[in-house]
Amino acid sequence: MSTIIEHPLVTEKAMNMMDFDNTLQFIVHIDANKSDIREEIESRYDVAIENVNTQITMKGKKKATVRLSEDDEAQEVASRIGVF
């Protein structure tokens, strides 16, 4: 897999989770597992991750919800990757 992360997910729910839970959501490759997602996000965005949850959407896409550590702010990371 050359690219695990397809794009960040920008919805109202994702924005609320970013503000209140320090989490980011991404659409990822369907074959990616949690450890692959963790390694890719930590290396690409230089952040520490507490937890990764994944789910397959009704449209057949894989969504990863990534909780960042207390040292990193989701809003700052989102502005670096161009969500805002």
pLDDT digits (tens, 9 = 90+) for 27-38: 999 999 999 999
pLDDT above 80: residue 2: no
Instruction: For residues 82 and 10, give the distance between their C-alpha atoms in angstroms, rounded to a whole number.
Output: 11
pLDDT at residue 66, as a whole number: 97
According to DSSP H, which parts of 1-84 are helical?
12-21, 34-45, 74-81
pLDDT digits (tens, 9 = 90+) for 37-84: 999 999 999 999 999 999 999 999 999 999 999 999 999 999 998 887
Domains of the chain: 5-81 (3.30.70.330)
pLDDT at residue 1, as a whole number: 45
Instruction: For residues 47 and 18, give the distance between their C-alpha atoms in angstroms, rounded to a whole number.
Output: 15
Is this prediction's pTM over 0.85? yes
